[in-house]
Amino acid sequence: MITSDDIVMLGNSLTEFGGSWNERFPDAGANIVNRGIRGDDAVGMLHRIRQITCGQPKKIFVGCGINDVSHRLTNVEVAQRVKKLLRAIRQQSPKSKVYYFSLFPINESFNRWKTLSGRTNDIPLINKMMRAWCAKNGVTYIDVFSHMTESGSNVLRKELTVDGLHLTEEGYRVWTAAAKEYF
């Protein structure tokens, strides 16, 4: 049961596979609840958000969008779905501080995620839309993308990924370093 003293990590497999976020952020001063589900997208998260917002948690961190990209949606459609989710969170849990993690880069050289083929350069465009929307709507945008790319590119660094999408432990260290100040 989520309470107003908790912090929630809402997301997909990237969040789920992060394991114990309490161990990653030991100084958070609150219990961090992992609500990542592999394969989840903005619509799925929207359908289950009441399970989280009913507890009015202190903070809600949202990592969402890459699975929407894999559904062959346009950049605008991906952003619209994520915005709808964030609006619902704000409406249902007005006392919660809401944070949005940028989409992370991908590395197509692994040839693993065919539904993400050709989408490497779309991700920063979606991030740009989301950054602007967050700034206007009281959601804190956390840029993780720029910490994970190869120099001068939009490509996920190979040492940070096991398959071109999911993170190695080093990838999780980069994520937590980029987000630490918000916990």
The domain limits of the chain are 7-182
**pLDDT attached to residue 111:** 85
- 158 closest CA partner among 109, 118, 122, 104: 109
pLDDT of 121: 97
Q: What is the pTM of this model?
A: 0.96
DSSP for the chain reads ---TT-EEEEESHHHHTT--HHHH-TTSSSPEEEEE-TT--HHHHHHHTHHHHTT--SEEEEE--HHHHHTT--HHHHHHHHHHHHHHHHHH-TTSEEEEEPPPPB-GGG---GGGTT-TTTHHHHHHHHHHHHHHTT-EEE--HHHHBPTTSSBBPGGGBSSSSSB-HHHHHHHHHHHGGG-
The pLDDT profile of the chain, 183 residues, written as one tens digit per residue, is 999 999 999 999 999 999 999 999 999 989 999 999 999 999 999 999 999 999 999 999 999 999 999 999 999 999 999 999 999 999 999 999 999 999 999 999 998 898 899 999 999 999 999 999 999 999 999 999 999 999 999 999 999 999 999 999 999 999 999 999 999
The CATH architecture one would assign to domain 7-182 is 3-Layer(aba) Sandwich (3.40)
